[in-house]
Amino acid sequence: MEVSRFLRVAALVTAAASPLGAQTRGVTHGVRTARLVIRNATIVDGNGTPARGPVDIVIEGNTITAVVPLDAVALGRGESRRPAGDVQIDATGKYVLPGLIDAHAHLQSNRSGHSLGGYEYNLKLWLANGITTVREVGSESDTGIVAVRERSAKGEIVAPRIFAYPMLNQAPMPRNAAEARARIQRFKSAGMDGVKLTGVERDVMAAAEDEAHKVGLRVAHHVGVEETNAWDDIRFGTTSIEHWYGIPDAAIPDMRQHFPANYNYLNETDRFRWAGRLWREADPKLLDSVLVSMVHANVAWVPTLDIYEASRDLQRAQNQPWFKDYLHPSLEWYFKPDPANHGSYFIGWSSADEVFWKENYGIWMAALRDFERLGGTIGCGDDAGFIYQMYGYGLIREMELHAEAGFNPLKIIQHCTGNNAKILGQEERLGRVRAGWLADLIVVDGNPLEDIKVLYAGGTSAMRDGKEVRTLGSEWVIKDGIPYNGPQLLREVKAIVDKARAAK
């Protein structure tokens, strides 16, 4: 390259990278405009590719219409023209990701009858943590979840996109294959997106899956320690295995874990205590063949590592920093150990239990790494609302646990965006920063490849220019082209919590 051209390119790059003239302007919280441009962004896309920038991202209505590179090479070729916009967000020094997708979520307005004051608390915590889509796998009410989904789609409420996967097993329970098929058909005509199986007998599972495939509903399976295990998911074509039970179970040489003689599955303390000793019974060679078979059958895995974390470190789970300002009193009540509340099994939880669980996690995480290496699809969900996990925060914690498992940060972001879109069957609309895809994006204050904690609502502490600062988390959360200011969402959550605490 001759010197004059080099200097010209260098000057253009300086202009492109300068925040001058690129300040955020005209953006209103909750208001979609005809043409929004995010300027000077560094992108991490949802397909596992490396970060790249600076780029300008053009959003028209609810769609990403252009991703314009501003790097020296593009500028030198004359390929970059700064696109115009009605309003703009300055993303200089920030990272832009596809909006996060929570593939295992529950929308909750109350916990065992203790009100959360409607859905607003839950929905805003999801968005504040950068979640623009949730797969709802078992709601309080099937008609309720469809109503929320539709209001969200129309932009009438502040909420992520919702995909509804109601529980197959709800009263009256389908008792046989015919009743399972009828239930699936009813879900289809009610406009559901999929179905969640849990606690199913093998014949009911086989019929439900067969019918679901016929009518085009996807299947999420929370495998319990039951009649079925991962071999059944492989055989019947489950879309995704939720959590992890059923996978080590399928690799135990004696076909059943060696429980103590007085074990009772319905006793939650028994159940979670011995679950911590489950992975150690899986035979590595058999486990390998289970994982290979899952890959061949296209069964994805949504591990929800976060929701068991209290089992290996109870004090950590009980003392999370966001509890101080954002834990709703009804959730606080629900999280207190009480045998009447699902998942609150920690009365008498011992250091020995925690040690077994630490080992359990180690084997589990290694299996997840093997599964991905073999070509398997790993998704990302948090199951929040149970066991000390708060909506939204749980998913970011899940990402940190994927890092602990040893996954490359680029792959972790892919798990929570592109892979989850694929599990939803929405990979041609969601989970990417790509022209033609829906405008679900987050503008993150900080580099999540360096520190996942920058994704937490309310940010994290960081050193910048020699000073300690509090970062802003997802400063802008754009869902369906509508920009929401992350810190503003969090202030609204705090107001809900303050009011509920004052009313107590």
Residues in contact with Zn ion by the rule CB under 5 A: 383
Nearer to Zn ion, 110 or 488 (CB): 110
Output helix, strand, coil percentages for the chain, rounded to the nearest 5.
40, 20, 40
Residue nearest to Zn ion (CB): 383
The least distance separating Zn ion from the CB of residue 343, rounded to whole angstroms, comes to 10
The least distance separating Zn ion from the CB of residue 138, rounded to whole angstroms, comes to 6
The least distance separating Zn ion from the CB of residue 386, rounded to whole angstroms, comes to 7
The least distance separating Zn ion from the CB of residue 383, rounded to whole angstroms, comes to 4
Nearer to Zn ion, 45 or 383 (CB): 383
Beta strands in 13-92 (DSSP E): 35-43, 52-60, 63-69, 87-90
- With tokens 């290979």, the residue in question is 292
CB neighbours of residue 345 within 10 Å: 21
Nearer to Zn ion, 232 or 383 (CB): 383
The least distance separating Zn ion from the CB of residue 137, rounded to whole angstroms, comes to 6
Residues 6+ apart with CB under 8 A from 277: 257, 356, 360
The least distance separating Zn ion from the CB of residue 244, rounded to whole angstroms, comes to 13
Four-residue CA torsion sign, 151, 152, 153, 156? positive
Pseudo-torsion of CA 174, 180, 183, 184, nearest 10°? 150
Nearer to Zn ion, 372 or 383 (CB): 383
- How are beta strands 441-444 and 474-479 bridged, if at all? antiparallel
SS (H, E, C) 337-362: CCCCCCCCCCCCCCHHHHHHHHHHHH
- How are beta strands 194-198 and 161-164 bridged, if at all? unpaired
C-alpha closest to that of 136 among 104, 170, 109: 104
- How are beta strands 131-136 and 63-69 bridged, if at all? unpaired
Nearer to Zn ion, 383 or 480 (CB): 383
The least distance separating Zn ion from the CB of residue 384, rounded to whole angstroms, comes to 9
Computed over its alpha carbons, how large is the radius of gyration of the chain? 23
**Which token pair is 285?**
């060679």
The least distance separating Zn ion from the CB of residue 429, rounded to whole angstroms, comes to 25
Nearer to Zn ion, 90 or 383 (CB): 383
Nearer to Zn ion, 209 or 383 (CB): 383
Nearer to Zn ion, 306 or 475 (CB): 306
C-alpha triplet 434, 435, 438: angle, nearest 5°: 80
